[in-house]
Amino acid sequence: ALQSVKTSKSLRRRKGKVLVTDGPFAETKEQLLGFVMVEAADLAEALKIAERIPLAELGTVEVRAIYDVPGS
């Protein structure tokens, strides 16, 4: 399961510059296009991976951790 949106970061890339903000948008008209699950050592590594997602140039990539379920 995904962790709370309070722990999320939103990433956008425009003209080669990356902007990371805390949390999701307060109010959004955007639509979910899909999702990508990656394994990363920490949030910094996950954000680096998110920078390379092509749609970060057109929209926003929300980065959220999942709960670690022991034994799974």
In a domain, 26, yes or no: yes
In a domain, 70, yes or no: no
Where in the sequence is the domain holding 45, given as residue range(s)? Answer: 5-63
User: Residue length, the chain?
Assistant: 72
pLDDT digits (tens, 9 = 90+) for 12-55: 999 989 999 998 765 666 666 788 899 999 999 999 999 999 98
Task: Please tell me the pTM assigned to this model.
Answer: 0.77
Structural domain count of the chain: 1
In a domain, 72, yes or no: no
In a domain, 34, yes or no: yes
Residue 19 confidence (pLDDT):
93
Question: Cα–Cα distances in Å, from 36 out to 8, 26, 27?
Answer: 15, 22, 22
**Higher pLDDT, residue 5 or 49:** 49
In a domain, 59, yes or no: yes
d(CA 35, CA 39): 13
Alpha carbon of residue 53 to chain centroid: 10
In a domain, 21, yes or no: yes
